[in-house]
Amino acid sequence: MNDEGKRLDGKVAAEEVVAKVKAETEKLTAESGITPGLAVIIVGEDPASQVYVASKGRKAKECGFHSVQITLSADTPEAEVLGHVQSLNDDPSVHGILVQLPLPGHIDENKVIQTISPDKDVDGFHYINVGKLGTGDLSNAFVPCTPAGSMILLRKALGDDLSGLNAVVIGRSNIVGKPMANLLLAANATVTIAHSRTKNLQDIASQADILVAAVGRPEMVKEDWVKPGATVIDVGINRVDAPERGEGKTRLTGDVDYEGALENAAHATPVPGGVGPMTIALLMANTLTAASRVAGRELPKF
Ligand code: GUN
């Protein structure tokens, strides 16, 4: 189907964000002598995590940042990971710290996250930043990158004020579902959080003017789940078999049947090329924000 006019293009929007980060970074460095620094810690050899971390490093360099990657083996003791986080907390050349999740089972993920200085928590996972978002103190928070990027795409479709609109978020994770619900609420939407234990999920979804799918179930949201005229944001990234491409081949797909959803939706994000590129762009934006705060400068708006 030709999705022209309905597709919320994350590649284009992410390029716009990154162009602004680059321009603002040049100004920051020229006027205050500060170069934003992003440190990423990866523990173990998960192939998907390795790909994500490598692309974060590349994008950071493209933005003119100081980029650090700390690569640790899967059997690294928790205390050693915490020690690296502490060193980065104390390092003035690093403004943003990201520990790639998931971590190996013997490491307490929450303990690691809560050890990151809230001022360098560019993932927005520390209790302090979760609390700022939850109380609507958005300008002082770090907002998690995937929901923040999703909101930019949503604003392109619907503008800044979502008053009177029903938003349904399917998924209640700390990384996406909960922060997304808080952002929608801050933009005046009427918000329902649904999840795997929700009864009549389809009924609830089909009342949404804004439908956000973040459950990790390939193409769960079908055409008849989508209210006519709705805006659909697909946060899912699922790798599925694609025998039509040849033996053993796979493809990426979202939590939404995109073609089906477009029969009803006014706007929808594709996978790939929707929310995915926004996540990394917003990580760059958050790192610039962290450095701008240290420099005592006005914060760029994204
Ligand atoms: N793993 C999958 N998504 C994320 C994310 O947004 N941040 C971190 N740190 N790890 C992830």
Nearest-CA residue for atom 9 of ligand 1: 100
Identical fold between 31-117 and 145-276? yes
Q: Which amino acids are annotated catalytic?
A: 56, 100, 123
Least Cα distance to 38 among 294, 295, 286 occurs for: 286
Q: What is the pLDDT of residues 46-100, one digit of tens each?
A: 999 999 999 999 999 999 999 999 999 999 999 999 999 999 999 999 999 999 9
Q: Write down the architecture of domain 31-117 according to CATH.
A: 3-Layer(aba) Sandwich (3.40)
Predicted confidence (pLDDT) per residue in 184-204, tens digit: 999 999 999 999 999 999 999
Q: For 172-183, what is the mean pLDDT?
A: 98
- Assign 2 a pLDDT band (cuts: 50, 70, 90): confident
User: Does the Cβ of 99 fall within 6 Å of ligand 1?
Assistant: yes
Q: Is 167 exposed, middle or buried (0-12, 13-18, 19+ CB in 10 A)?
A: buried
What are the structure tokens assigned to 190, written together?
A: 């009427």
24 lines ligand 1 (CB under 6 A): no
For 145-276, the fitting CATH number among 3.40.50.720, 3.90.650.10, 3.20.20.450, 3.30.70.120 is 3.40.50.720
Shortest-distance Cα residue to atom 3 of ligand 1: 101
Q: Flag whether the pTM goes above 0.95.
A: yes
pLDDT of residue 4: 82
CB of 100 within 6 A of ligand 1: the answer is yes
**Ligand 1 atom closest to 283 (CA):** 6
Q: What is the pLDDT of residues 154-173, one digit of tens each?
A: 999 999 999 999 999 999 99
Residue 101 has pLDDT above 80, yes or no: yes
Domain-wise residue ranges, the chain:
31-117, 145-276
Chain segment 226-265, per-residue pLDDT in tens:
999 999 999 999 999 999 999 999 999 999 999 999 999 9
| C-beta 145 within 6 A of ligand 1 | yes
Q: Count Cβ neighbours within 10 Å for each residue of 207-216 and write b for 16 or more, e otherwise.
A: ebbbbbbbbb
Average pLDDT of the segment spanning 292-301: 97
3-state helix, strand, coil in the chain (%, to 5): 45, 15, 40
Separation of CA 51 and ligand 1 centre (Å): 12
Tell me the pLDDT of the chain averaged across its residues.
97
The predicted structure's pLDDT at residue 202? 98
Which of 97, 101, 115, 146 for mutating ligand 1's site (highest number of atoms within 8 Å of CB)? 101
